[in-house]
Amino acid sequence: MPIFSYQAVDRKGKLVKGMAEFPNEHSLYQWLKDQGLVLTKQRRSYFRSIFKPRVKVEELIEFSRHMNYIIRSGMPLLEGLKDLEENTKNETFKRVLQAVKMEIQAGQSLADALSHHPYIFPQFYTSIVKAGETSGNLDKVFLELTNYLTWLHDTQNKIKQALTYPIIVSVLIGIALIIFVVFVIPRLTKFLIQLNMPLPLPTRMLIKFNSFMLHYWYIFIVLLLSAICFTCVAKFSQKMLYFWDKFKLKIPYLGRVLLNLVLVRFVQYVGMLYQAGIQVYQALDVVKEIVSNRFYAQKMEKVKHLLEEGEGMGRALELVQGFPSFLIRSIKVGEATGNLDETFRELSRYLNDALDRDVRMITTIIEPALLILVASIILIIVISVLWPIYNMLGKIT
């Protein structure tokens, strides 16, 4: 949905500014009218609609923690939101909290108010809050959200840390190769050619490679730009994104990490929504949008249809295929014993541990592999340069 920046006045003539997401201008006008505000100026923000404003996960964690405290302590909701608004330094989040307060004052529930800002509060977030309002366990729901978002933030940081070293080393290797190709190797090859003697195969290959790089460097630029353009275009093709997500799961080692990440999110989200009182088939509508893999999102859609037809969840996962047998067996046992919420918690802990092990394993594999790559490149260059010099010295002696 498009994002609108607006200005309005209340009954006392006070100017109110904000930003909200609505399907059209009429919806924005009606929303403000319901809150006793008169729209004076609105503008559709095309830039923000494409590059939607975000808040950091830390701020969403703090919001959830603060809401848990507000509800447990019995503080009025509007006063608690006002405190949070005054203390936040993120201007985007501040404007959203202002809008949320106005919506609650107009008679909307907290979940409905949050749902007007899906670029800040994801669908699963508002669905859980709505379930908490319905069941009367809103404080527990916000505590669960705090714990879950903290886990998600820590997991993302672990993956980022695991990838930081390989990225830095790869960049340094690229810079070193450019320096060698542009400055070092041309001078060495010029010297070797001046020796007027047959050059060994590694040296001739190095000279040809260097010559190709110097004369046809633009080919690599074209390939890079083509890859970037292809990636941008592919984002608008659901079919291409589906096959790409499916292909990623087949990459050695990395595919297993991505699969575990999908499964962890699956059991975390479904378990949290189920514990909040949402039926499993309804939870899957939310989960399939946020597992970050379209291949498995399609499988979850099939699972949902089977659940609606009366199948149990374990049996539905088994029929769809693609889910580990231990996960299917565990869910079947949870359904049989009536402890499905506890089953989801246990699966979450197990898969989270497996994800940590896989990330550490990839890190231990990548680091020596990069060292071997660097050593191989240096060795090839050294052999190519020193071999003809060594031959020349042998002839002299």
**Residue 52: how many other CB atoms lie within 10 Å:** 15
Are 289 and 123 spatial neighbours (Cβ–Cβ below 8 Å)?
Answer: yes
d(CA 245, CA 296): 9
- The token pair at 339 is 């402890």
d(CA 372, CA 370): 5
41 phi, psi to nearest 5 deg: -160, 135
CATH superfamily to which 138-397 belongs: Type II secretion system (T2SS), domain F (1.20.81.30)
Contact partners, residue 327, CB within 8 Å, separation at least 6:
263, 267, 317, 347
d(CA 55, CA 48): 13
Transcribe 225-269 into DSSP letters: HHHHHHHHHHTT-HHHHHHHHHHHTTSTTHHHHHHHHHHHHHHHH
d(CA 168, CA 240): 30
d(CA 43, CA 290): 30
Residues 91-106 have pLDDT tens digits of 778 888 888 888 788 7
- The token pair at 242 is 């589906």
The residue whose two tokens read 């506890």 is 342
Q: How many CA atoms lie within 13 A of 233 on its CB side?
A: 6
Alpha helices in 88-137 (DSSP H): 91-105, 110-115, 123-135
d(CA 287, CA 61): 20
Amino acid in the structure at residue 37? L
3-state secondary structure of 40: strand
The residue whose two tokens read 């010559």 is 211
* 327: Cα separation from own chain's centroid: 24
For the chain, the residue count is: 397
- The token pair at 363 is 């890190």
All structural domains of the chain with their residue ranges: 3-50, 57-137, 138-397
How many angstroms separate the Cα of 153 from the Cα of each of 147, 162, 302? Answer: 10, 14, 29
**Residue 338: how many other CB atoms lie within 10 Å:** 8
Residues 240-270 have pLDDT tens digits of 778 888 888 888 878 888 888 888 888 888 8
The residue whose two tokens read 């006045």 is 9
Res 329: pLDDT:
92
Are 251 and 242 spatial neighbours (Cβ–Cβ below 8 Å)?
Answer: no
CA triple 41-47-48, angle to 5 deg: 75
Architecture of the 57-137 domain: Up-down Bundle (1.20)
Strand order in the sheet with 15-21: 15-21, 3-9, 38-45
Are 133 and 114 spatial neighbours (Cβ–Cβ below 8 Å)?
Answer: no
**Residue 323: how many other CB atoms lie within 10 Å:** 21
Where the chain has pLDDT below 70, the residues are: 1-3, 18-24, 27, 31, 34-35, 45-54, 192, 195, 197, 234-237, 289, 392-397
Burial 211-250 (b: 16+ CB within 10 A, else e): eebeeeeeeeeeeeeeeeeeeeeeeeeeeeeeebbeeebe
- The token pair at 43 is 């503008």
Instruction: Select from 217, 138, 147, 135 the least CA-distant residue to 182.
Output: 217
